[in-house]
C-alpha cells in the first residue's frame, strides 16, 4: 500500500489509546551497524520495548514512563534514569527523542513540535521533518480500519533507523 497523506487516514492514529508493534529494526551510525527484533507496546501510561537479536540473544527490555526510563540488559540488573534520551545515548552512542518516537512510529509527527511535510514529485506526501529528524514512509498496511506504517526510515543527526513492522495490534 502506498503512503497516504498525513492529513488522511493516518491522522486518525492520533486517537489511538494503545498499540503493539512487532517487527525488525536496523540501526546505522558512523561507527556501527546492527539489526534486531523489536517488540513495542504502548499504552497511555508507559511504553514497553524489547530489542533482541536472533533467538532472543542479547535481549534488552526498556520501560518508559513519562520522564523515567528503566533498562534491563539481563542478569537481573535494571537501571533507571530521569533522562530517557540521555540514558539511551550513553547506552547506544546516539540519542533518539523517545517522546517523539512514539508518535513517529505510528506515522505521525509529534503534535507538540513543529514539522514540515515531505512531498514527492506528484505532490503525494512521503513523510516529514521534525526536530532535526527526517521520516520517510515507504509502505503502509491496513490494520482493521487503521492505516499503519509497515516500512519506514528515520534519519537523525547521528543515526539512521530502518523499521519494518511485521504486525500491529491497535486499540482506541
- The predicted pLDDT at position 74 comes to 81
pTM over 0.75: yes
Instruction: Give the ranges where 12-163 is alpha helix by DSSP (H).
Output: 84-92, 98-104
Which residues fall within 8 angstroms of residue 58, CB to CB, at 6 or more apart? 36, 52
Are the C-beta atoms of 99 and 105 separated by less than 8 Å?
Answer: no
Domains of the chain: 9-167 (2.50.20.10)
Residue 136 CA, chain-centre distance (Å), reads 12
Enter the DSSP assignment of 122.
Answer: T
Nearest to 78 by CA among 60, 92, 99, 53: 60
| CA distances, 47 to each of 10, 93, 159 (Å) | 21, 21, 21
Are the C-beta atoms of 140 and 149 separated by less than 8 Å?
Answer: yes
- The predicted pLDDT at position 6 comes to 41
- The predicted pLDDT at position 2 comes to 45
Residues of the chain short of pLDDT 70, as ranges, are 1-8, 54-56
Task: Tell me how crowded residue 27 is: count the other CB atoms within 10 A of its CB.
Answer: 19
Amino acid at each position: 500500500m502506498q503512503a497516504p497523506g498525513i492529513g488522511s487516514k493516518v491522522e486518525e492514529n492520533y486517537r489511538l489509546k494503545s498499540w503493539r508493534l512487532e517487527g525488525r529494526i536496523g540501526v546505522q551510525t558512523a561507527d556501527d551497524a546492527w539489526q534486531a527484533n523489536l517488540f513495542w507496546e504502548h499504552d497511555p501510561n508507559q511504553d514497553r520495548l524489547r530489542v533482541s537479536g536472533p533467538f532472543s540473544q542479547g535481549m534488552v527490555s526498556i520501560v518508559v514512563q513519562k520522564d523515567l526510563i528503566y533498562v534491563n540488559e539481563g542478569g537481573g540488573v535494571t537501571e533507571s534514569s530521569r533522562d530517557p534520551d540521555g540514558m539511551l545515548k550513553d547506552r547506544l552512542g546516539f540519542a533518539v527523542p523517545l517522546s517523539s518516537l512514539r508518535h513517529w512510529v505510528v506515522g505521525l509527527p509529534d503534535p507538540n513540535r513543529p514539522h514540515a511535510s515531505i512531498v514527492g514529485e506528484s505532490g503525494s506526501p512521503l513523510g516529514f521533518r521534525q526536530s532535526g529528524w527526517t521520516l520517510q514512509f515507504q509502505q503502509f498496511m491496513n490494520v482493521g480500519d487503521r492505516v499503519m506504517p509497515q516500512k519506514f526510515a528515520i534519519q537523525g543527526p547521528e543515526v539512521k533507523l530502518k523499521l519494518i513492522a511485521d504486525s500491529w495490534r491497535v486499540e482506541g
